Amino acid sequence: MRKFIIDTDTASDDAVALIMAHYWQDVEVVAVTIVNGNVPVEQGVKNALYTLDVCNASTPVYVGCAKPMLRESSYADWFHGKDGMGNMYYPEPKSKPQSAHATDAIIDTIKKYPGEITLVTLGPLTNIATALLKAPEIASLVQRCVIMGGAANTVGNVTPAAEYNIWVDPEAAKIVFHSGMAMEMVGWELSRHDAALTPAEVENVMNFGTARARLAMECNKTALDVSMKMQGAVGLTLADPVAIAVALDPNMITRQGKYYVDVEITSELTRGATVVDELGVLHRQPNINVVWTINVHRWKEVLYLCLQ
């Protein structure tokens, strides 16, 4: 079994990603760590625990950083709803989070399973950066780190230049990007265009009739509306589930390559932009494997397999 740590600011698309990881046969999710991002960290904890209840999973959940390293919090309720779950206001979860802090759980778990952990980040990188500052040696102990974040030389989704997760805490992202971990950047653009779920595909998933399929689509109702009306998408863009799908099945990647990638932290205009040196003009050592394209048919197939 492959061992995953999932670091998430649990809102609607994060919930789908959590479901997928818990229904993939050769994956054991050993910890879910929560970071401030889409919603306040307390709401993210509640959303994660409720999602795990629906999955009948007892994965330990840890509360992490409650604000970005240097910036003020900036939530995404405009996309995910006030509760982060499409304004569905689900009941209180049955279980409680663990007492240990998420950053300590990340460090301890990576050290417990050296060379075995796939770290998947679905939110701002505050928890990961904090853990790396506290225990920089964990960078070399992570087998694979899949980052849902950034935009590879393309338009952002919170500003023209930046993707939300990186924009929220660009200082944290810069620390992580230069940590030396074996990282893969799965930009938000991979969930756009043909990768979006059309309204007909959303209805098809609802017709699976499982509790997890119903949760996955219901909690994304506001996200579907915003994706189509504000972003001009053909349907529901699911950035976090695309990233988890890449982590679950790397064979769906159709184009990738290792490049030098940096994060802009000083400019307000381009704050959080992920600058990919695609042509190698900076002559800097490549630090991140950038995923450029995926097999869209396979991505949706993986999603459906996990929700049926």
Closest CA to 197 of 227, 222, 219, 152: 227
Separation CA 301–CA 252 (nearest Å): 10
With b for 16 or more beta-carbon neighbours within 10 A and e for fewer, the 105-116 pattern comes to bbbebbeeeeeb
Q: Give, rounded to a whole angstrom, the gap between the first and last alpha carbons of the chain.
A: 21
Q: Are 288 and 216 in contact (CB under 8 A)?
A: no
Q: Any idea which residues carry the catalytic annotation?
A: 9
Q: Quickly list H helices, the chain.
A: 12-22, 41-54, 77-80, 102-112, 126-134, 164-168, 170-177, 199-206, 211-218, 221-229, 239-248, 296-307
Please state, in angstroms and as integers, the Cα–Cα distance from residue 138 to each residue in 5, 117, 164, 175, 230, following that order.
13, 10, 26, 13, 40
Report d(CA 277, CA 192) in Å as an integer.
22
The neighbouring-strand residues paired with 290 are: 185, 257
CA distance 205 to 106: 33
Tell the residue number behind the tokens 């209805």, with chain if given. Answer: 203
How far apart are alpha carbons 50 and 95 in whole angstroms? 8
Lookup result for tokens 């960078």: 139
